[in-house]
């Protein structure tokens, strides 16, 4: 991915030299032309076109923001409810993610999801111990983590 961005910058610089002007608008023009070329020649790259990666990153950021808003509302709802009827607990969650980066991102996301908090990542990085505010929906939560977050993270990192 990095090599594609670097090449795109090089094409933009080349465009600026060809036009003999060093303005920001010429740079943008060259960058767009480079984008078109790299997109057209994508079958020669071993890795996917880097715009897809950037789109996946944007999607992950939006997911982060959405989860933050939802979770703070759910916490506030529990706090201002007159009677506290929650059943907290700690459950183990097995993840399929492998590298340090992915596990870090996942545990940050879990800290921001409604009613969950990462307490511990086991030493082999296969199991995450998650403190849930309400154990009734622990199954739902872990299914949701598996479906949406892991998929979004894998899209970014692989």
Partner 1 sequence: MNAGTMSMIIEWLVALLILFGALLSGLSSFGLVRLPDVYLRSHAATKSATLGVLCILTGAFLYFMLFLDQISAKLLLGIVFIFITSPIAGHLNGRAAYRTGVPLWEKSVQDDLKDALKRERDAQS
Q: Which residues contribute to the site for partner 1 (CB under 8 A)?
A: 64, 68-69, 71-72, 75-76, 78-80, 84, 86-92, 107-108, 111-112, 115, 117-120, 122-123, 127, 129, 131, 133, 135, 138
* Least spacing, CB of residue 9 vs partner 1, in Å: 22
Pick 8 or 118: Cβ nearer partner 1? 118
Nearer to partner 1, 25 or 85 (CB): 85
Q: Are strands 127-132 and 116-121 parallel, antiparallel or unpaired?
A: antiparallel
What is the rounded (10 degree) CA torsion for 39, 44, 50, 52?
70
CB of 109 to partner 1, least distance (A): 8
Torsions phi, psi for 120 (to 5 deg): -160, 140
Does residue 91 contact residue 130 with C-beta atoms inside 8 Å? yes
State the nearest-atom distance from the C-beta of 2 to partner 1, in Å.
Answer: 21
CB of 16 vs partner 1, minimal distance in Å: 26
Angstrom CA distances, 79 to 67, 116, 132, 151, stand at 18, 15, 15, 32
């Amino acid at each position: 991915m990095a090599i594609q961005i670097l090449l795109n910058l090089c094409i933009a610089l080349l465009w600026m030299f060809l036009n003999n002007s060093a303005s920001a608008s010429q740079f943008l023009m060259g960058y767009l032309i480079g984008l078109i070329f790299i997109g057209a020649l994508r079958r020669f790259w071993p890795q996917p076109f880097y715009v897809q990666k950037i789109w996946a990153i944007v999607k992950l950021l939006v997911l982060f923001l959405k989860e933050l808003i939802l979770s703070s509302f759910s916490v506030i709802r529990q706090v201002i409810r007159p009677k506290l009827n929650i059943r907290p607990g700690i459950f183990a969650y097995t993840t399929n993610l492998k590298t340090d980066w992915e596990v870090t991102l996942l545990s940050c996301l879990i800290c921001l999801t409604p009613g969950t908090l990462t307490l511990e990542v086991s030493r082999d990085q296969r199991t995450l111990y998650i403190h849930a505010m309400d154990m009734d929906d622990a199954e739902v939560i872990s299914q949701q983590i598996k479906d949406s977050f892991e998929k979004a993270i894998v899209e970014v990192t692989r």
